Structure 1
Amino acid sequence: MAEAHAILESKLRQHSRLSNDDISAIRSLPYRTRELTANEDLIRQGDQPDVSALVLRGMLARYHLLPNGARQYISFHFAGDLPDAQALFLDQMDHSVCALGNATVASLPHRTLCRVFERQPKLAFAIWRETLIDAAIFREAITNNGSRDPATRMAHLFAEVFYRAEASRLTNDGTMDFPISLVQLGETLGMSIATVNRALAILRSSSSMEFNGGKLEVFDGRRLAEIGQFDPSYLHLRATQRLNKSLLQFIDTAGPRRDIEPTAKSDDHFRYCRVIRTGIDFAAGVLLFSS
Structure 2
Amino acid sequence: MDVDKIVINKLKEHSRLSADDITEIRNFNFAPRELADQEDLIRQGDEPDKSVVVMSGWVARYHLLPGGSRQYLSFHMAGDWPDAQALFLDRMDHAVCAIGEALVAGIAHKEMTRAISRRPALGFAIWRETLIDAAIFREAITNNSARRKPARMAHLFCELFYRARALGHVRDGQLQLPVSLIQLGETLGMSIATVNRTLLELRASRAADFRSGTLSVHNWSRLCALGEFDPGYLHLKKQPR
Query: What corresponds to 2:170 in structure 1?
Result: 171
Bigger radius of gyration? 1
Aligned to 1:83: 82
* Within-5 A mapping of 1:39-50: 39-50=38-49
CA distance in 2, matches of 1:102, 1:171: 19
Question: In structure 1, the residue corresponding to 2:125 is in which secondary structure?
Answer: helix
Q: Equivalent residue for 2:20? A: 21
Aligned to 1:269: none
Q: Are 1:192 and 2:200 matched, yes or no?
A: no
**Counterpart of 1:30 in structure 2: which amino acid?**
N
Structure 1 match to 2:158: 159
1:81 Cα deviation (Å)?
1.3
Aligned twin of 2:128? 129
Match of 2:9 in 1: 10
Aligned partner of residue 83 in structure 1, secondary structure:
coil
Work out the CA distance in 1 between the residues paired with 2:137 and 2:91: 19
| CA-based RMSD | 0.8
Alpha-carbon distance between aligned partners in 2 of 1:211 and 1:68, rounded to the nearest angstrom? 29
- 1:166 is displaced (CA, Å) by 0.4
What secondary structure is seen at the aligned counterpart in 2 of 1:46? coil
1:63-106 C-alpha deviation (Å, 9 max, x unpaired): 00000000000001111211111111111100000000110000
Return the letter of the residue paired with 2:13: Q
TM-score, length-normalised on structure 1?
0.82
The answer to whether 1:111 aligns with 2:118 is no
- Mapping for residues 37-76 of structure 1, pairs under 5 Å: 37-76=36-75
Q: d(CA) in 2 for partners of 1:20 and 1:88?
A: 24
Per chain length, whose mean CA-contact separation is higher, i.e. which structure has more relative contact order (CA < 8 Å, sep 6+)? 2
Higher strand proportion: 2
Determine the C-alpha separation between the residues in 2 that align with 1:3 and 1:120. 22
| Residue number in structure 1 paired with 2:144 | 145
Q: Structure 1 pair 243/34, CA: closer, same or farther in 2 (3 Å)?
A: closer
Give the distance between the partners of 2:95 and 2:206, measured in 1 at CA. 35
Q: 1:60 to 1:155 in 2, by over 3 A?
A: same
- Percent identical residues: 59
The aligned residue for residue 252 of structure 1 is none
TM-score by length of 2: 0.99
1:207-218 alignment runs, 5 A limit: 207-218=206-217
In structure 1, stretches of 5+ residues that fail to align are: 245-291
Output the CA distance in 2 between the equivalents of 1:185 and 1:89.
29
The equivalent residue for 1:275 is none
Structure 2 residue runs of 5 or longer lacking an equivalent are: none
Structure 1 residue 243 displacement after superposition: 5.5
Aligned residue number for residue 287 of structure 1: none
Q: Tell me by how many angstroms 1:31 deviates.
A: 1.1
Runs of at least 4 residues off by over 6 Å: none
CA pair 243-181 structure 1, distance change in 2 beyond 3 A:
closer
Q: Any conservation in 1 of the 2:3–2:55 contact (CA below 8 Å)? A: yes
Q: Answer whether contact 2:162 2:240 (CA < 8 A) is retained.
A: no
Amino acid at match of 1:231: D
Quick one: which amino acid aligns to residue 163 of structure 1?
A: Y
